[in-house]
Amino acid sequence: MEGKIPVGGNGGDTIIHMAMIRGIYLGRNPFLDQHYNVPPNWYPFLYHALIALLARITHLSIWNLMI
């Protein structure tokens, strides 16, 4: 059905990842975890940097790119 939030889209890890991507998108240091200011795990770092870059290039929302 249209208008429904996808499973996992209303909390948990999705919100955490969106916050990290938003931090990179806004120009914060991409080499640090956006929550704890420590070096991030390699996989989320690459994912977050990629989505932030795509959001800048395409002007699509972070939400749409993630989902």
Question: Quick one: DSSP state of residue 39?
Answer: P
Tens of pLDDT, residues 43-66: 677 888 999 999 999 999 998 898
- % of residues, the chain, pLDDT over 90: 24
Residue 17 CB neighbours (<10 A): 17
Q: Which pTM value belongs to this model?
A: 0.69
Candidates 8, 12, 13, 65; CA nearest to 44 is 13
Enumerate the domain spans of the chain: 15-58
Sign of torsion over alpha carbons 20, 34, 47, 51 = positive
Q: Which residues, other chains included, contact 34 with Cβ-Cβ below 8 Å and sequence gap of 6+?
A: 19, 20, 22, 23, 24, 28, 48
Amino acid at 11: G
